[in-house]
Amino acid sequence: MKKFLVTFLTVLLGGAIVAGVGVFNAVQGEAPPVLVANVVGTKTAPSGEEMPHAELYLDVYPNSSSQVPQPETKSPINNVLLAGQPFYHPSTSLQVPSNSLVTIHFRQYDSGGTIYNPYFAKVHGTVDGKMKWNGKEVSEIKPDEVGHTFTVHQYPESTQPYFFMSIPLPMNPANAKTDKMGYPVDPQIISVTFMTGEAGSYVWNCEFPCGDLYQEFGGPMQTRGWMAGTFDVVDV
């Protein structure tokens, strides 16, 4: 009887350790708070159909400051390793309505350079294949003037509704006038409108290497909260 009690306690203790470590790490690794695109009215799709219209506002900063805090994280090591690295603000966990037209407004405060793959200097997946950049409509930018990209794609082997979108965010020139925090006074303003289909879960990331280590593909490039995140299309 005593042996079976010890056995039971061993299993219980083992389960408690697994659960404890799991819960601790799950809390540590909480995703950034979800940024929801609110429906603001309706808009006419290229097909002439009236669709719900939602909007999202995202900024891209080259680093944190007293004005713009670092992405929320409960992992102390990320605060050390990713300090001074660029990030999307206010969140990288995005949620948009299904079967809608969604407009995302970007303010891009970071510098940039030449992107390895010029495919990502072009606009993909918007309603008209274009984006509005500082008031002008363009379908691509010069590959050597890219600051970041906002690229949404599928999970591997996915059977959910196909969705792909990639927007190049132009860089700020090196001589741009900056405020006391070092951010350009006149950031690059970009807006894009795209159409969502049925509900699905996607991921997005920046395809311009802006992190650290090998070819600058390390650090923030791989970390949600910085240059990667989730993109959920939900029924509302």
Partner 1 sequence: MSVDAAVETKTVFGSEVPQPPQHGAAGGVMRRLNFGTGLVGGIGLATIAGWITAIITPSSASSDTFAPMEPTYVYLAVLLGWFIGFMLGMGAFVGPLRWVVGRDITHSDAEYMAGKDLGRKRYWKYTTDHKVVGIQYLIVAMLVLGFAGLLAMLIRTELGMTWTSLFTPSFYNSMIGTHGIAMIIGMIVIISGPLGNFIVPMMIGARDMAFPRLNALSLWLFVSAVPMLVSSMFMGGIQDGWSVYYPLAAQAPPGMLGYQLTIIVFAVSTAVASVNLMTTILTMRAKGMTWSRTPIFVYGIFAASVMGLYAFPFFQYAQILGLSDRVFNTSFFDPLNGGSVWLYENLFWLLGHPEVYVILIPSMAVALELMPVFLRKPLFSFNFAVAGIVGVVALSGLVWAHHMYMTGWAPAANYPFMLSTELISIPVGFLVLVAIGTFWRGTAWTRLPLMAVYAVVFNKMIGGVTGVYLSDVPADQYFHGSMFVVAHFHYMLMGAGLFGAMAGIAFFFPKMTGRFLDERIGSIGLWTAFIGFQITFMSMFVAGLQGQPRRVLNFDDQFNLSNWISTIGAYVIGIGMLIFLSAIITSWRSGVLASSNPWGSKSLEWQTATPVPLENFPVLPVVTERPYDYGVPDPYEAELDSTDQDLMEKAGTK
- By CB under 8 A, which span of 114-122, 163-171, 173-181, 222-230 interacts with partner 1? 222-230
* CA neighbor of 150 nearest in space, from 96, 215, 214, 198: 96
Which residues, including other chains, have CB under 8 Å from residue 199's CB and lie 6 or more apart?
Answer: 98, 161, 232, 233, 234, 235
Question: Total number of residues binding partner 1 (CB under 8 A)?
Answer: 45
Is residue 3 a contact point for partner 1 (CB under 8 A)? yes
Binding test (CB under 8 A) with partner 1, winner from 41, 80, 135, 175: 80
Paired sense of beta strands 93-97 and 87-89, if any: unpaired
Do residues 68 and 75 make contact, with C-beta atoms less than 8 angstroms apart?
no
Residue closer to partner 1 (CB basis): 38 or 158: 158
Give the x-and-dash track for 81-110 against partner 1 (CB under 8 A): x-xx--------------------------
Residue closer to partner 1 (CB basis): 99 or 154: 154
Residue closer to partner 1 (CB basis): 12 or 40: 12
Residue closer to partner 1 (CB basis): 128 or 155: 155
Do residues 10 and 25 make contact, with C-beta atoms less than 8 angstroms apart?
no
Is residue 62 a contact point for partner 1 (CB under 8 A)? no
Is residue 16 a contact point for partner 1 (CB under 8 A)? no
Is residue 213 a contact point for partner 1 (CB under 8 A)? yes
Amino acid at 141: I
Do residues 95 and 35 make contact, with C-beta atoms less than 8 angstroms apart?
yes
Q: What is the dihedral of CA 187, 73, 156, 146, to 10 degrees?
A: 20
Do residues 96 and 102 make contact, with C-beta atoms less than 8 angstroms apart?
yes
Amino acid at 230: T
* CB of residue 25 to partner 1, shortest distance in Å: 6
Residue closer to partner 1 (CB basis): 41 or 235: 235
* CB of residue 6 to partner 1, shortest distance in Å: 5
Three-state SS at 186: coil
* CB of residue 169 to partner 1, shortest distance in Å: 20
Residue closer to partner 1 (CB basis): 42 or 158: 158
